[in-house]
Chain A
Amino acid sequence: QVQLVQSGAEVKKPGASLKVSCKASGYTFTSFAISWVRQAPGQGLEWLGWISAYNGNRNYAQKFQGRVTMTTDTSTNTAYMELKSLRSDDTAVYFCARHKGSSHWLDPWGQGTQVTVSS
């Protein structure tokens, strides 16, 4: 079955960087993109961007331009999301999701990675 498994919870200090991994299985990795979405405590879903696993093309939300970097490793079917210059309001659960390009349908989603930014 199609599955995305994310790396474990992280605690970071303000100003540090974060790198979350998302390992895909059960489908041809290079046939889809991967989107990254976060959810702050008690809040809604916020999209950070997507990366094509086929050619590495990236599309980032304006809000995160310059602070986020998304990459993929096709040898291990793994996507990565790096976020720099962390602030307390980056505290959230970060999700990856398989992204169907034609309709921009996100499915399935990874289990989520809790990230806490605190001094």
Chain B
Amino acid sequence: NFMLTQPHSVSESPGKTLTISCTRSSGSIVSNYVQWYQQRPGSAPTTVIYEDNQRPSGVPDRFSGSIDSSSNSASLTISGLKTEDEADYYCQSYDSTNHVVFGGGTKLTVL
């Protein structure tokens, strides 16, 4: 089994670009798809990126996902930050036994 490690919190100003990392502890990050979910307080998570870099319809193209094999990590990049982007973000993948694995979550503050 492996773990996905995210920074506990990040902050940035409106209009800026920010990247949240998700590092896989063992095994290759490219082996299994990574998803990213946004969760606002009191709400269920919603998908912002699926299958490493795909954006569901309705998600602004300010959100993008990428995989970096050299750092064994996935990244979520949000450009043109808006106050409405303030939320918790979770990365998610799965292991060889098809068990779902979540990162610990990152609290994004836009100030």
Contact = CB atoms under 8 A, between A and B. Distances in A.
A35 B100 CA distance: 9
Contacts of A99: 100
A37 B44 CA distance: 11
What size tier do the contact residues of chain B reach? Answer: 20 to 34
B14 interface: no
B33 A59 contact: no
A109 B102 CA distance: 15
Interface residues of A, number: 22
Interface of B: 32-33, 35, 37, 44-47, 50-51, 56, 90, 92-94, 97-105
Interface of A: 35, 37, 44-47, 50, 59, 61-62, 95, 99, 103-112
11 contacts: A35-B100, A45-B90, A45-B102, A61-B99, A103-B35, A103-B50, A103-B51, A104-B32, A104-B92, A104-B94, A105-B35
